A = this chain, B = another copy of it.
Amino acid sequence: MDSKTLKSAEILFELAYAEDIGDGDITTNNLVPPAQLKTAVMVAKEDGVIAGLPVAEMVFRKLDENLVWKEVKPDGSQVRLGDVIAEFTGTYRALLTGERKALNFLQRLSGIATYASLCMKEVEGLSVEILDTRKTLPGYRYLDKYAVRMGGASNHRFGLYDMVMIKDNHIQVAGGIKPAVEAIRKKVPMSIKIEVETSNLAEVQEAIEAGADIIMLDNMSSEMMAEAVKLIDKRAKIEASGNMTLKRIRKVASTGVDYISIGALTHSVKALDISQRIID
């Protein structure tokens, strides 16, 4: 797990610690001896793809720096019901106090990875990239996008700061796609890519002429997309966007677009069922 994602998880863990543990787990700390060790496992209760084990490990390690942690199915692995995902030994206190927080992270991220892997299966053999969006829960941007990668898909921009995305409101203010692109080109560092949202072929044409790096085809029919791809003719990268469902993406991919972005990857996450069991 890259350091920025792990750091983001640590910040969320600190919030979870403050709100859930605060001055201490007064039940466990007053009843369980500090030095008693136990071994536990994480077990999959359904099929899916795992993401978030380094976060779960971090949760327990924050509570017991001597934690022994062994991953059986590391992030990105396919699991089946009943598979042991990780086995770990630490203080009994850490295992009891950390359990729910570790699972909360792990189940959400594995849910995202599982859905992303389903999308990737749909477009197998095609050169399209599946992208996520900015529809992530506040505070979970890095984690959710990490899980997307674990499922085999790719990341769109991380936020409003690292890429220009010119939408209808911006175009209206600027007085057209071309003036919008020109105005912004002068103001951003040379490292920044410019994407323009379009909803018809006339706008696509204007975006090409404006020199957009990427052109988004927003809520277009597959037929219109195919025409747009032809019109653009490699002069810009192409992103298909808007109500992309599992069922539809193969057809969209076949139009020749470079990217398909799917809000549902992170917006409506069905947690993957995972449980912790103390085995010794």
A72 within 8 A of partner (CB): no
A30 and B160 form a contact (CB under 8 A): no
A101's closest neighbor in chain B, by CB? B138
Query: Which one of A74-82, A164-172, A245-253 is at the interface?
Result: A164-172
A160's closest neighbor in chain B, by CB? B25
Among the interface residues A31, A167, A173, which one has the most CB atoms of the partner chain B within 10 A? A31
User: Complex Cα distance A96/B20, Å?
Assistant: 29
Tell me how many residues of A have a C-beta within 8 Å of chain B. Answer: 76
Residues of B within 8 A of A24 (CB): 2-4, 160-161
A129's closest neighbor in chain B, by CB? B190
Residues of B within 8 A of A33 (CB): 173
B104 and A161 form a contact (CB under 8 A): no
A→B interface (CB under 8 Å)? 2-4, 8, 11-13, 15-16, 19-33, 36, 92, 96-97, 100-101, 104-105, 108, 129, 131, 134-135, 137-139, 141-142, 154-167, 169-170, 173-174, 180, 183-184, 187-193, 214, 237, 259, 268, 271, 278
